Amino acid sequence: MELKRVVVTGLGALTPIGNTKDEYWNALLEGKSGAAPITYFDTEHFKTKFACELKDFNVTDFINRKDARKMDRFTQYAMVASDEAIADSKLDLETVNKLRVGVIWGAGIGGLETFQNEMINYCEGNGAPRFNPFFIPKMIADIAPGNISIKNGFMGPNYTTVSACASSANAMIDALNYIRLGHCDVIVTGGSEAAVTISGMGGFNAMHALSTNNEDPQGASKPFDANRDGFVLGEGAGAIVLESYEHAKARGAKIYAELIGGGLSSDAYHMTAPHPEGIGVMAVMRNCLENAGLKPEDVDHINTHGTSTPLGDVAELKAISEVFGDHAKNININSTKSMTGHLLGAAGAIESISAILAIQNGIVPATINHKTADENIDPSLNLTLNKPQKRDIRVAMSNTFGFGGHNACVVFRKLD
């Protein structure tokens, strides 16, 4: 069976450094950090008092108040980003065959704030079972694609992938395969997360996963730096409209890039720590290359998982050196988490958008906040430190890894 080609025709981004795809991209090139003191709740008793929250975002600018109250923030974010991506794709919702348009979305946690607040209300009510009638539909992780499909009338495949921080990359890979196999013409994919909450910050602090650099929030996310001390939590959404090449060409769509492959693997090692030798990470990148029909020397750019954790950054870079050999030093490697923080289930989506726009614009955003070299990291690797670098990029890869050992990798190519 001949597989269909799959292309990117629409992008939408709601991030801590920009509330549209253009704002997001410009902020990446400016090296802007989204980290700041938390405004959503009192952090007096928290080890970490900062995060990458959205800025100047008012949901009622996009969704009427009555509908917004029925949604957790992670669903609100999904609606806003997907609306932008659909509009950007110029898909004609009046004429498209909606039976062949799906929504496959990623969320690592889902309605965390909704669950948290309902439990607080229950406990403060002395055990009286007074729950919001929208508690369950606001909380469940699959409600985001459900709402996107209901709003737009999309009747194709509709579900959420949940694989922690690999969730939205998993969603993109599933979407790629549905279109490749001819089951759909168009799929809206991506991911959203809204874990900057009392329980989210408290839980990650209890794991000692977060940076505690409260004196310098904007400098706290520093992937590959010798003094990194944990990730910075972010929030938001990224949306990508994927379409078969034939369908996009027939309607004269603008095409950003081609999604040519995806890979999956598992570390099978530890709940939260990466395999120290990066075995699962090597496997996922090799799987991705094979799936895309690429050789290692074809890759020009990798947006790494690069969370700014002591173990994870080293393991990923070791895996890249092993998989790509001598060519590794010719690849522009970066971590945009240095600016956005870690958007958990939405990370793969917004980082793929960065990779797609890097291909389109011929420039790789920097890994900011790097000051001190880590002796455990190969100095020959080009980590795109502190300044963006211009480059003709034909092939760009994006890595995402999640708690539980879930690994996902996607690769995009400039359209021939």
Q: What is the DSSP string of 160-227?
A: EE-BTBTHHHHHHHHHHHHHHTTS-SEEEEEEEE---SHHHHHHHHHTT-B---TT-GGGS--TTBTT
Q: Each residue of 221-230: b (16+ CB within 10 Å) or e?
A: bbbbbeebeb
Residue 250, H or E segment = helix 245-250
**27 neighbors 202 (Cβ within 8 angstroms):** no
The rounded distance, in Å, linking the Cα atoms of 144 and 158 is 10
From the candidates 247, 275, 342, 406, which is the catalytic residue?
A: 342
Judged by DSSP in three states, 365 sits in: coil
Among candidates 116, 121, 113, 54, which has minimal Cα distance to 81? Answer: 54
Q: Which two tokens stand for residue 336?
A: 């945009």
Residue 102, H or E segment = strand 101-106
75: left (phi over 0), alpha (psi -120 to 50) or beta: alpha
From the candidates 247, 275, 301, 305, which is the catalytic residue?
A: 305
Give me the phi and psi of 82, to 5 degrees please. -70, -35
184 catalytic residue (yes or no): no
Whose structure tokens read 């600016």? 339
305 catalytic residue (yes or no): yes
**86 neighbors 139 (Cβ within 8 angstroms):** no
Return the amino acid letter for 408: A
The rounded distance, in Å, linking the Cα atoms of 228 and 213 is 9
Among candidates 87, 141, 85, 142, which has minimal Cα distance to 110? Answer: 141
Contacts of 160 (CB under 8 A, 6+ apart): 104, 105, 106, 107, 110, 141, 142, 144, 145, 167, 171
165 catalytic residue (yes or no): yes
Among candidates 389, 411, 381, which has minimal Cα distance to 399? Answer: 411
CA atoms in the 13 A half-sphere facing the CB of 211 = 34
Residues with catalytic annotation? 165, 305, 342
